[in-house]
């Protein structure tokens, strides 16, 4: 039996450290945003030294961009992948909203949603960070459009369904859930978001019985 080279062990430890730091940044940024975070604050939260941070990322912007990618992966694993287990079409749209609400109600992040926080923060701040946030927003929109078109092709949605309008409605109901839950009754907000989404999807469906009644 041969032992794994020491370099592999160091690489694995480095990967774990990097992931731990990025998880800390995503968590903090969901509350405070990315721009407000200092390297010292991140180091303290992640339990590493500032010099350790700079050995992984050259500057704050590089760390911010890495955190965005980590948040994207987290969202894919916890929201997108579970939803894609549902049958193609309208039921995937419903499953996507259910998975999104489960992410929020499960308090995966203290602020609720990383992307809601950073979109507000960087909407008028040009630069690489904003550019990446915009590209991911477009990616998400295109992804939802793909599911809607599949539902249309399967005859599950009314022929007069406008994919752009439906995608906007679905995202707006998810977005409103997280923003309102921070200020108003949390449980009521998520229940209302779920009910509103189900009502809209059933109204669009040619056979509403493929979705839950309530």
Query: What does the pLDDT look like over 93-129, one tens digit per residue?
Result: 999 999 999 999 999 999 999 999 999 999 999 999 9
Are 94 and 101 in contact by the 8 Å Cβ rule? The answer is no
> Could you tell me if residue 192 is inside a domain?
yes
- Tell me what pLDDT residue 37 has: 85
Q: What is the pLDDT of residues 41-97, one digit of tens each?
A: 888 888 887 888 878 888 899 999 999 999 999 999 999 999 999 999 999 999 999
The answer to whether residue 138 sits within a structural domain is yes
Report the distance separating Cα 107 and Cα 91, nearest Å. 24
Q: Tell me the two tokens of residue 23.
A: 């998880």
Examine residue 155 and state whether it is found in any structural domain, yes or no: yes
Give pLDDT, residue 45: 82
Which pLDDT tens digit goes with each residue over 8-57? 665 556 567 889 899 999 999 999 999 888 888 888 888 887 888 878 88
In a domain, 24, yes or no: no
The number of domains in the chain is: 1
- The answer to whether residue 50 sits within a structural domain is no
Does 51 reside within a domain? no
Report the Cα 181 to chain-centroid distance in Å: 16
186 in any annotated domain: yes
Domain that holds residue 141: 69-210
CATH number for 176: 1.10.357.10
Determine phi and psi for 5, rounding to 5 degrees.
-55, 145
**Local confidence band at 2 (pLDDT 50, 70, 90 cut-offs):** very low
**Could you tell me if residue 178 is inside a domain?**
yes
């Amino acid at each position: 039996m041969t032992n794994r080279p020491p370099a592999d062990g160091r690489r694995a430890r480095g990967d774990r450290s990097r992931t731990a730091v990025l998880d800390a940044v995503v968590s903090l940024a969901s509350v405070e945003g990315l721009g407000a975070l200092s390297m010292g604050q991140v180091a303290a939260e992640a339990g590493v030294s500032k010099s350790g941070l700079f050995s992984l990322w050259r500057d704050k912007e590089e760390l911010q961009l890495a955190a965005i990618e980590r948040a994207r992966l987290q969202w894919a694993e916890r929201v997108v992948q579970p939803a894609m287990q549902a049958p193609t079409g309208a039921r995937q749209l419903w499953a996507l909203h259910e998975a999104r609400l489960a992410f929020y109600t499960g308090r995966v992040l203290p602020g609720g949603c990383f992307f809601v926080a950073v979109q507000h923060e960087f909407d008028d701040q040009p630069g690489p960070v904003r550019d990446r946030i915009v590209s991911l927003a477009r990616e998400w929109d295109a992804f939802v459009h793909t599911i809607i078109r599949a539902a249309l092709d399967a005859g599950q949605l009314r022929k007069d369904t406008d994919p752009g309008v439906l995608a906007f409605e679905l995202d707006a109901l998810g977005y409103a859930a997280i923003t309102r839950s921070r200020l108003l009754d949390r449980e009521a907000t998520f229940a209302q978001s779920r009910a509103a989404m189900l009502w809209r999807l059933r109204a669009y469906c040619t056979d509403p019985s493929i979705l839950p009644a309530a």
